[in-house]
Chains A and B, each alone.
Chain A
Amino acid sequence: SQKIEQNSEALNIQEGKTATLTCNYTNYSPAYLQWYRQDPGRGPVFLLLIRENEKEKRKERLKVTFDTTLKQSLFHITASQPADSATYLCAPSPGAGSYQLTFGKGTKLSVIP
């Protein structure tokens, strides 16, 4: 069965450092992969989408990589700030007209001042 694993449930990091979150998937061949941020008591908010033919995508302090050989996506936040503290969810999608977006369990990031 399809499986999505995000490296750890919780990640603590010092302010100013780079946070790296991992998303691994098995029994999947996603055409693209999305990352979302979820704050307590709120719905997930879209951050970035990367397609299978893209190796890397950047948006301000965020960078996402997508390695279809390793079946892995890495999500980096550079110069992390306490305001970056949240849960980050990855969501690989089969594409090809699929309407089903399945989420990993998320990694709760805490940036310590």
Chain B
Amino acid sequence: DTAVSQTPKYLVTQMGNDKSIKCEQNLGHDTMYWYKQDSKKFLKIMFSYNNKELIINETVPNRFSPKSPDKAHLNLHINSLELGDSAVYFCASHRGGQTEKLFFGSGTQLSVL
């Protein structure tokens, strides 16, 4: 069983559309994240949720809205997609606590045309 799974793997869409990426973890972890990896491979944190509560919200356009229906799921909805949103988006989780390693999903490659 995949520990952190995200869907879809690839997402190709037109500018201006709204899309969602889903993430689920079956590790029983309390904390989940969204990271964005741009074309230069720089992995940047976007959001973090701990037990369904938003705890980190980096400088991200408000077109991006995370939703955590329960602590095993963290979805990312993006409104009015722009060319600059093209990137690979990674979901990650950890058990909680400062020394915990992150478990990453395999990524969603978003291409905005």
Contacts and interface: CB of A to CB of B under 8 A. Distances in A.
Given A32-B99, A95-B99, A99-B55, A41 B107 contact: yes
Interface in B23-73: 31, 35, 40-45, 48, 50, 55-56
A101 B102 contact: yes
B28 to A, nearest CB: 17
A87 interface: yes
A103 B39 CA distance: 15
Determine which residue in A43, A45, A98, A103 has the highest number of CB atoms from chain B within 10 A of its CB, and name it.
A43
A34 B101 contact: yes
| B interface majority secondary structure | strand
Interface string B76-113: 00000000000000101000001101111111000000
A97 B31 CA distance: 12
Interface residues of B, number: 24
A87 B107 CA distance: 16
A106 interface: yes
A33 to B, nearest CB: 11
A43 B34 CA distance: 12
A89 interface: yes
Contacts of B44: 103
B43 A89 contact: yes
Nearest to B90: A43
A93 to B, nearest CB: 7
B104 A32 contact: no
Given A99-B48, A100-B45, A32 B98 contact: yes
A42 B107 contact: yes
Interface of A: 31-32, 34, 36, 41-46, 49, 51, 87, 89, 93, 95-103, 105-106
20 contacts: A36-B102, A41-B107, A43-B4, A43-B90, A43-B106, A44-B43, A46-B103, A49-B99, A51-B99, A89-B43, A93-B98, A99-B31, A99-B50, A99-B55, A99-B56, A100-B45, A105-B41, A105-B42, A106-B41, A106-B43
